[in-house]
Structure 1
Amino acid sequence: MTARILVVDDVAANVKLLEDRLTAEYFDVVTAPDGATALELCARAQCDIVLLDVMMPGIDGFEVCRRLKADPKTHHIPVVIITALDQPSDRVRGLEAGADDFLTKPASDVALFARVRSLARLKMLGDELRLRAQTTREIGMSDALMEAVSDTGEHGRVLLVDDRELSSARIRDALAATQSVDVEVEPHEALFRAADGDYDVAVVSLSLENFDALRLCAQIRSLERTRMLPILLIADPEQHSRVLRGLEVGVTDYLMRPIDANELVARVRTQVRRRRYTERLRANLQTSMELAITDGLTGLHNRRYMEMHLQALLDQAASRDRPLSALVVDIDFFKKVNDIHGHDAGDDVLREFSRRLKASVRGIDLAVRLGGEEFVVVMPETDGAVARIVAERIRTKTAAAPFQIRGGEATLEVTVSVGVASFLGAEDDAGALLKRADVALYRAKTDGRNRVAADAA
């Protein structure tokens, strides 16, 4: 997997060394001699991952990282701090600034490339969601990117998989002040708990007895419900090669023993933030998809959704030789409601009618607001006789009780007219079916409204 890597270092020899190593692995490399240039390049979306030195003139690496993570436009770019600083306090400072990882110079090629590829995969998975979230922000939805920037990464739910009591107790105690921790000592049960527990991060010991911890990590990645769950691996120093293998199978981050409690807390907070960020983007994507196929006023499906699915329903009915019927429903004298009582009252009528319409049809039926006061109901497995019964039910439910408008201050008598048509088989199509139902609706209106008329075909 390739990516565009931004190398930021004020020492030309260091830049050249990293550039040559990364280029040899087919990464596209961009360089910056200082923090200000790096911020400018990132703002122009010219990199996928930032490899950042700390000790630079002007803006140091910690401040560059903080600014990148505080800006919704660059918050999503993974940052790896690579520096000669090697104290636990330095790592914690980098992680608290928002860095995704902290490598000490000289970083081995194997460790560097494994980390870069792992972060590139994570970024690629999130990019589509992020772009959708930016689009939905433009139509007034909640800004998932701004929420991600302000998230502290605290009060998350952590699943700790460790079968050594002393080790699990130390990790749990270190995290207790900032996270809610559940301990699972049975690796076989951990996968089920991860799938059912709505956790923000899984912390897995690589030293599980009688079970391959990396297999558990791979299984977590393979399940749809846990595919995006961050995994933090806890390993012993001699297990470094296994850690690199873990990054290849989907481990998100790792920490070597002996564990520094502050670094553990910082790394878990980073993963909790990443999880929440992804979930916010996913929720925005789901909402945007629903907006694309749903009528905002009534909650029914819209014309676009019907056009995408009606022909498929007809094809299915034809292949199975099963009946299908369609209703076109129109609210009688709706223009007068708007003219006399105002458009707010008209909206009240549309919402209440939609509620009664949904209560009159089955879950498998496709109820659509076609536009204005016109609605369509497509009913699979329904012949003409049954469709007329349903149409009559809709008509009577509409006329049975007055509609409240203006928050209940007034009521209106509302009626509807309904046209019914049935699918004629493989030679029929969606346009012809709806045209026949529309002709039947016109006849119902010319015959006096508040009635049902069926297609004569």
Structure 2
Amino acid sequence: MSARILVVDDVPANVKLLEARLSAEYFDVMTASNGTEALALARRAECDIILLDVMMPDMDGFEVCRRLKTDPATHHIPVVMVTALDSPADRNRGLEAGADDFLTKPVSDVVLIARVRSLTRLKMMTDELRMRAITSLEIGMQAPERSAVADTGKGGRVLLVDDRESSYQRLASILAAEHTVDVEPNPTEALFHAAEGNYDLLIVSLDLNNFDGLRLCSQARSLERTRHVPILAIAEAENSTRLLRGLEIGVNDYLLRPLDKTELLARARTQIRRRRYTDHLRDNVQNSIEMAITDALTGLHNRRYMESHLATLAEQAATRGKPLALMILDIDYFKSINDNFGHDGGDDVLREFAVRVRKSIRGIDLACRYGGEEFVIVMPETDLHVAGMVAERLRRSIAGEPFTVHKGTKRVEVTISIGLTTLEQKGEAVADVLKRADMALYRAKHDGRNRVVSHAA
């Protein structure tokens, strides 16, 4: 996979070495010799991952990382600190600044490339979500960047999978200071537990007795309900090969024993923050999709959705040899409602009308706002006789009780006219069915309104 890697280091020899390593793996490499230059490149969205030295003259790597992670425009870019500093305090300082990893020089080619590839996959997934979520901003939904920057990463739900009591007791006691922690000592039950628990982070020991921890990680990645839960693996120092394999199959981060308390908490916070951010992006995407096919006022499907979905329902009905009923409903004298009660009163009527429609039809039926005060209901596997009974019941529901408007201060009598038909001829065009229902509606209104008129196929 190709990605743009920004190498930030003030020592030319270090830059050339990293550039050679990464270019050999077909990554596109760009460089910066100081923090100011790096920040400018990142803000222009010219890189996918940043490899950042700590010791630089104008601005050290900790400050560069902190600025990247507190800027809504750059906080989502993965940052790996690559430095000669090797103390736990330095590592924790880097993680607290927001770094996704902290690698101490000399870094083996295998470890470096595995980490870059892992973060590249993560970045590409995030970029795809960000691109899809642009529509959400265009329709007025709040962007998640600022809340992501302010997120502390605390208060998450963590599932710890470890079958050594002394180990999981210590880990759980550390994590409990910031998160809600569940422990699953039985690896065979862990996947079910993870799928049911709606967790923000899955921590897996790779040193389980009689069970392959990497297999559990792989299964979590293949299961729909746990596919997006970040995984933090824990292993003994001599298990570095397995850890690298874990990064290939989807492990997000790892820790080596003996564990440092501060580092554990810092890495957990990083993963939970990222999980919340991507979840927010997914929610925005889903909401924008729903808004694109939903009428904002009534909550029913809109005409665009109806026209595309009706064709599918008609095809299914024809294939299975089942009837399909369709009715067009029109609120009688709706213009006078707007004239007498204002457009806000008319909106109140439309909202309540949608509620009554939902109560009168089945879950498999399709109810749409066709435009203005016209609505369409499509009823699969329903013949003309049954559809007529439903239509009459709906007509009585509307006419039988006045609608309240202006927060209940006024009441208005409402009636509807309904045109009804069915699709029973295989291959009949959907447009012809709609036209036939519309002709029936015209007759209903012409004959005095507040009635149901059927037009047989």
TM-score by length of 2: 0.98
Would the aligned equivalents of 1:419 and 1:444 in 2 still touch at CA under 8 Å?
A: yes
Look up the match of 1:440: 440
Look up the match of 1:64: 64
Could you say if the C-alpha distance between residues 427 and 241 of structure 1 is closer, same or farther in structure 2, counting changes exceeding 3 Å?
closer
- SS of structure 2 residue aligned to 1:312: helix
Q: Tell me by how many angstroms 1:38 deviates.
A: 1.1
Look up the match of 1:284: 284
1:117 equivalent in alignment to 2:117: yes
Look up the match of 2:358: 358
CA deviations 1:50-99 (Å, max 9, x no partner) are 11111112222111111111122211111111111111111111111111
Look up the match of 1:299: 299
Q: Distance in 1 between matches of 2:130 and 2:90?
A: 30
Look up the match of 2:376: 376
**Runs of 4 or more consecutive aligned structure 1 residues displaced over 3 Å after TM superposition:** none
Would the aligned equivalents of 2:5 and 2:50 in 1 still touch at CA under 8 Å?
A: yes
Q: Distance in 1 between matches of 2:326 and 2:31?
A: 62
Q: Distance in 1 between matches of 2:320 and 2:175?
A: 58
- SS of structure 2 residue aligned to 1:391: helix
Which stretch of structure 1 is more off in the superposition, 143-152 or 104-113?
143-152
Would the aligned equivalents of 1:422 and 1:433 in 2 still touch at CA under 8 Å?
A: yes
Would the aligned equivalents of 1:7 and 1:18 in 2 still touch at CA under 8 Å?
A: yes
CA deviations 1:137-195 (Å, max 9, x no partner) are 23221322221111100011111111111111111121121111111111001111111
Query: What one-letter code is carried by the residue in structure 2 that aligns with 1:16?
Result: K
Q: Distance in 2 between matches of 1:67 and 1:371?
A: 50
Q: Tell me by how many angstroms 1:134 deviates.
A: 3.5
Query: What one-letter code is carried by the residue in structure 1 that aligns with 2:434?
Result: L
Could you say if the C-alpha distance between residues 456 and 383 of structure 1 is closer, same or farther in structure 2, counting changes exceeding 3 Å?
closer
Would the aligned equivalents of 1:420 and 1:453 in 2 still touch at CA under 8 Å?
A: yes
Query: What one-letter code is carried by the residue in structure 2 that aligns with 1:435?
Result: K
Query: What one-letter code is carried by the residue in structure 1 that aligns with 2:169?
Result: A
1:273 equivalent in alignment to 2:293: no
Q: Distance in 2 between matches of 1:189 and 1:92?
A: 33
Look up the match of 1:183: 183
- SS of structure 2 residue aligned to 1:407: coil
Q: Distance in 1 between matches of 2:86 and 2:366?
A: 62
Query: What one-letter code is carried by the residue in structure 2 that aligns with 1:265?
Result: L
Q: Distance in 1 between matches of 2:279 and 2:65?
A: 23
Look up the match of 1:408: 408
- SS of structure 2 residue aligned to 1:378: strand
Q: Distance in 1 between matches of 2:358 and 2:264?
A: 52
Would the aligned equivalents of 1:395 and 1:450 in 2 still touch at CA under 8 Å?
A: yes
1:87 equivalent in alignment to 2:97: no
- SS of structure 2 residue aligned to 1:285: helix
**How many residues get paired?**
457
Q: Distance in 2 between matches of 1:80 and 1:301?
A: 46
Q: Distance in 2 between matches of 1:283 and 1:456?
A: 44
Q: Tell me by how many angstroms 1:400 deviates.
A: 0.6
Look up the match of 2:150: 150
Query: What one-letter code is carried by the residue in structure 2 that aligns with 1:381?
Result: E
Q: Distance in 2 between matches of 1:128 and 1:452?
A: 49
CA deviations 1:273-296 (Å, max 9, x no partner) are 111111111111111111011111
Look up the match of 1:250: 250
Look up the match of 1:235: 235
Q: Distance in 2 between matches of 1:456 and 1:447?
A: 18
CA deviations 1:256-277 (Å, max 9, x no partner) are 1111100011001111111111
Q: Distance in 2 between matches of 1:60 and 1:236?
A: 32
- SS of structure 2 residue aligned to 1:123: helix
Could you say if the C-alpha distance between residues 71 and 118 of structure 1 is closer, same or farther in structure 2, counting changes exceeding 3 Å?
same
Would the aligned equivalents of 2:365 and 2:378 in 1 still touch at CA under 8 Å?
A: yes
Q: Tell me by how many angstroms 1:456 deviates.
A: 4.5
1:39 equivalent in alignment to 2:39: yes
Would the aligned equivalents of 1:2 and 1:117 in 2 still touch at CA under 8 Å?
A: no
Measured on the aligned residues, the alpha-carbon RMSD in Å equals 1.0
Look up the match of 1:342: 342
- SS of structure 2 residue aligned to 1:418: strand
Q: Distance in 2 between matches of 1:215 and 1:363?
A: 40
Provide structure 2 residue ranges, at least 5 long, that are not aligned to the other structure.
Answer: none
Q: Distance in 1 between matches of 2:38 and 2:138?
A: 27
Q: Distance in 2 between matches of 1:327 and 1:276?
A: 44
Q: Distance in 2 between matches of 1:4 and 1:186?
A: 41
- SS of structure 1 residue aligned to 2:407: helix
Query: What one-letter code is carried by the residue in structure 1 that aligns with 2:71?
Result: D
Would the aligned equivalents of 1:7 and 1:52 in 2 still touch at CA under 8 Å?
A: yes
- SS of structure 2 residue aligned to 1:269: helix
Look up the match of 2:161: 161
Q: Distance in 2 between matches of 1:159 and 1:404?
A: 50
Q: Distance in 2 between matches of 1:95 and 1:279?
A: 22
CA deviations 1:22-51 (Å, max 9, x no partner) are 000111111111111111111111111111
Provide structure 1 residue ranges, at least 5 long, that are not aligned to the other structure.
Answer: none
